[in-house]
Amino acid sequence: MDAEIALRVDGQRRTLSVDTRTTLLDALRERLGVISPKKGCDHGQCGACTVLLDGRRVTSCLTLAVAHDEAEVTTAEGLAEGDRPHPVQQAFLEHDGFQCGYCTPGQVCSAVGMLDEVKAGWPSHVTENLEEEPDLDEEEIRERMSGNLCRCGAYTNIVSAIREAAE
């Protein structure tokens, strides 16, 4: 069953027809040709499909496109300002925070969303005192980024990249 929806993807309004079954991830990749979010597991278990949906990081594989008519979607591709990569992306380049690159756009979006969550004062599982502003040390970054798997094992470089970008 098809439905007409509109999405604002990386700043551009796009209208499209989707099967009600189409996930936000497949709508982006197969209907709109936006390939930046990746399909790594399709079950919310790897984080490669992470996008910012109305500003929040989410796994786009577990949400239906039809439920997000008129939503704002930002992918890693849309984070750059023109030719200038986003500071998180720049830090990934400098710290070699990736190898095969497949989990990378998801890691980048997740990091950007996560930094906003920290700014908003959100605690994490490893935050000692839930009532204080979290201090974004390596342990905090690791916990908050754990929804993004990387099989190449670039974790330590990703953490240093995010540390630098957070400063």
Partner 1 sequence: MTDVLTEDPGRAPQRLDGPDKVAGTARYAFEQPVDGPRYLHLVQAGIARGRVTGTDTSAAEALPGVHTVLTHENAEKVNAGGELAVLQSPEVAFRGQVIGAVLAETPEIAAHAAGLVEVTYERHPHEATFGADDHRAQSPDTSSPMVTEDLDQGDVDAALEAAEYTVDVTYATPPEHNNPMEPHATVAVWEQGELTLYDSNQGPYVVRDVLAPIFGLDPERVHVVSPHVGGGFGSKGMPHAHVVATVMAARLTPGRPVKCALTRAQMFPLVGYRPPGFQRIRLGADATGRLVATEHSALEQSSRLAEYAEQSAGASRDMYVSPNRRITNRVVALDVPVPTWMRAPGEAGGMYALESAVDEMAQACGMDPIEFRVHNEPDTAPTSGRPFSSRNLVTCLRRGAERFGWAERDPRPGVRREGDWLVGTGVAAASFPSFTIPGSVATVGYADGYYRVEIAASDIGTGARTALTQIAAEALEVPLSAVRLHLGSTAQPKASLAGGSSGTASWGTAIVQAARAFRAEHGEHPPEGAETTTKSEPDPEAGTYAMNAYGAQFAEVRVHADTGEVRVPRLLGVFAAGRVVNARTARSQFAGGMTMGLSMALHEHGVVDERFGHVVNNDFAGYHIAAHADVGSVEVDWIDEHDPHVNPMGTKGIGEVGIVGVAAAIGNAAHHATGVRVRELPLTPEKFLTGR
Partner 2 sequence: MKPFDYERADDTDGAIATVSDDPTATYLGGGTNLVDHMKLGVAEPGKLVDITKLPYDFVETLPDGRVSVGATVRNSELAASHVIRQSYPMLAQALLAGASGQLRNLATTGGNLVQRTRCAYFQDPGTPCNKREPGSGCSALEGWNRHHAILGASEHCVATHPSDMAVALAALDATVVVRGSEGQRRIPVTELHRLPGDEPERDTVLEHGELITSVELPAPSDSARSAYRKVRERASYAFALVSVAAVVEVDEGTVRDARIALGGVAHKPWRAEAAERELRGAPATEENFRRAAEAELEQAEALRDNAFKIPMTRNTLCAVLRELTREDRA
**Can you give the binding site for partner 2, defined by CB under 8 A?**
1, 3, 19-21, 23, 42-44, 47, 50, 56-59, 62-64, 66-67, 110, 113-114, 117, 120-125, 127, 130-131, 142-148
Contacts of residue 107, Cβ cutoff 8 Å, sequence gap at least 6: 47, 50, 92, 97, 98, 145, 148, 150, 158
Structure-token match 């996560």, residue found: 114
Write each residue from 50 to 89 as x if it is in contact with partner 1 (CB under 8 A), else as -, in one continuous string.
-------------------------xxx-xx----x---x
| Piece of 32-40, 52-60, 66-74, 128-136 that binds partner 1 (CB under 8 A) | 32-40
Our finding on whether 32 is near partner 1 (CB under 8 A) is: no
Our finding on whether 164 is near partner 1 (CB under 8 A) is: no
DSSP SS3 for 132: coil
Q: How far apart (Å, rounded) are the C-alpha atoms in residues 81 and 98?
A: 21
30 secondary structure, DSSP code = I
